[in-house]
Amino acid sequence: MASPANSSLAENEIPILDLGPYFAGEVGALEVLGRELYRASTEVGFYFLKNHGVSQSLIDQAFVESKRFHDQSLEEKRKLKVDKNKIGYFEVESSITRHSDLAAGAKPNLYAAYCLRRELAPDDPDILAGVPYRAVNRWPDKLPGFRENLLAYSIAVEALGKKLLPIFATALSLPVSFFDAKFDKPLVNMQLNYYPHQRNFDGNQYGLAPHTDRGFITILCQAKIPGLEIRTIDGSWVIAPVLPGHFLVNTGDLLRHWTNDVFLSTPHRVINLSGDERHSIPFFYKPDLPTVIECIPTCQSAERPAKYPKTTVLDFYDWFVKQNYPDVKEAQSKARATALAVNE
């Protein structure tokens, strides 16, 4: 039986990357960050960002909006039940982690979430073409300012993600602009996660079962209440520290595949035994849907041949969603059935 972590990571065990000199244009700052990011991504899989440029007021307000949303009645939240594009609300015990062997036998997750994507206009070409996971966000109608505040935060974090791309390219000995065009219209998913207090842990039901993230990177707005646990290289589960004013970033499976397993995708989980409710705001950042994912040239050699077949971001992500979110899979099936009926 699995057990909760009984130790915490020291702050210095997760690298801290200071973006200040890089944003200030200091000579050599990009190269320094490239080396630091490479080390963090190959040895830990998690790292903190400081001096990231996203204002604390935006972060604080995002948490206010998360609480406002989840404090609504269940009836009100269910009006925005998650749809085929994984936009909207899913409630506690309606998701299950199936994409990870680490979660074998785990019960449905004890967390709820409101999910939104990059804000698109109704006449956006992708929406008109019916491109999967490109759709108009669905907003609650009884929370004034909710949409405006969350969009301001989302836009700021997406801009941060774009600014990080040259650092990834430098870390992997690629041209500085290697990733830029692949994120012209990134696949973005931001969630307002809510974890109720667990009275106990039975070894099979988690706030969020052990898993790795599926995307390029996850930029996490840390909750003040701990609960996130990271699996270290020796297999131990340890509680991640909370550093005010920092983002916690981790590599996802997509970037691990892209780098031929050079970069880690570190397992993590959530168990909320704090005695209080817990909110967190992960921002999942992925390339454009048509982007082809194949082994980066600097990550393969005769001694290290490419391990994974070529795929696209859409195919890579679509599998993950169907594995873990039954409500989304059901909505997709209904939408396809309706489309077939209309076209008969």
Q: Per residue in 238-264, pLDDT tens?
A: 999 999 999 999 999 999 999 999 999
The secondary structure of residue 116, as a DSSP letter, is: E
In a domain, 159, yes or no: yes
Q: Is 227 left (phi over 0), alpha (psi -120 to 50) or beta?
A: left
Count other C-beta atoms under 10 Å from residue 60's C-beta.
12
Residue from 240, 213, 204 nearest 5 by CA: 240
Confidence of residue 330 (pLDDT cuts 50, 70, 90): confident
The β-bridge partners of 293 are 311
Dist CA 88 CA 82 (whole Å): 4
Greatest mean pLDDT among 90-99, 143-152, 197-206 = 143-152
Are the beta carbons of 194 and 277 closer than 8 angstroms?
Answer: yes
In a domain, 5, yes or no: no
Which residues make Cβ contacts (< 8 Å) with residue 343, sequence separation at least 6? none
Structure token digits, residue 137: 């966000």
CA count, 13 A, side-chain hemisphere, 321:
24
Residue range 16-52, pLDDT digits in tens:
999 999 999 999 999 999 999 999 999 999 999 999 9
In this predicted structure, the answer to whether residue 11 has a pLDDT above a threshold of 80 is no
Confidence of residue 125 (pLDDT cuts 50, 70, 90): very high
Structure token digits, residue 303: 């001694």
Are the beta carbons of 193 and 279 closer than 8 angstroms?
Answer: yes
Percent of the chain residues topping a pLDDT of 70: 92
pLDDT reported for residue 340: 30
In a domain, 180, yes or no: yes
Are the beta carbons of 242 and 305 closer than 8 angstroms?
Answer: no
List helix spans (H) across the chain.
20-23, 29-43, 56-70, 74-78, 125-128, 146-171, 253-258, 313-324, 326-343
The pairs formed by 56-62 with CB atoms below 8 angstroms and a separation of 24 or more are 56/245, 58/149, 58/152, 58/153, 58/156, 59/153, 59/221, 61/149, 61/152, 61/153, 62/149, 62/150, 62/153, 62/192, 62/221, 62/281
Lowest mean pLDDT among 4-8, 158-162, 227-231, 233-237: 4-8
In this predicted structure, the answer to whether residue 179 has a pLDDT above a threshold of 90 is yes
In this predicted structure, the answer to whether residue 338 has a pLDDT above a threshold of 50 is no
In a domain, 163, yes or no: yes
Residue range 294-326, pLDDT digits in tens:
999 999 999 999 999 999 999 999 887 787 677
Helix (H), strand (E) at residue 127: helix 125-128
Using alpha carbons, list the distances in angstroms from residue 254 to 13, 26, 207, 215: 24, 31, 24, 5
In a domain, 4, yes or no: no
Percent of the chain residues topping a pLDDT of 90: 80
The β-bridge partners of 229 are 239, 269
Residue from 47, 88, 66 nearest 225 by CA: 66
The β-bridge partners of 280 are 193
Lowest mean pLDDT among 87-101, 115-129, 272-286, 306-320: 87-101
Give the CATH number of the domain where residue 165 resides.
2.60.120.330
List helix spans (H) across 231-325.
253-258, 313-324
pLDDT reported for residue 331: 76
Dist CA 239 CA 207 (whole Å): 14
In this predicted structure, the answer to whether residue 92 has a pLDDT above a threshold of 70 is yes
pTM of the predicted protein model: 0.92
Residue range 221-236, pLDDT digits in tens:
988 899 999 998 888 9
**Dihedral angle computed from the Cα positions of residues 102, 321, 188 and 256, in that order, rounded to the nearest 10 degrees:** 40
Longest Cα pair distance anywhere in the chain, in angstroms? 63
Query: Helix, strand or coil for residue 321?
Result: helix
Pairing verdict, β 237-239 and 228-231: antiparallel
Mean pLDDT of 162-187: 98
The better pLDDT of the pair 10, 117 is held by: 117
User: How many domains does the structure of the chain reveal?
Assistant: 1
In a domain, 280, yes or no: yes
Mean pLDDT of 148-176: 98
pLDDT reported for residue 342: 35
Residue range 187-221, pLDDT digits in tens:
999 999 999 999 899 888 999 999 999 999 999 99
Using alpha carbons, list the distances in angstroms from residue 74 to 77, 89, 99, 257: 5, 10, 28, 39
Confidence of residue 339 (pLDDT cuts 50, 70, 90): very low
Mean pLDDT of 331-341: 55
pLDDT reported for residue 337: 47
Phi, psi (rounded to 5 degrees) for 90: -125, 145
Name the residue range of residue 319's domain: 11-343
Structure token digits, residue 290: 């048509």
Q: Is 58 left (phi over 0), alpha (psi -120 to 50) or beta?
A: alpha
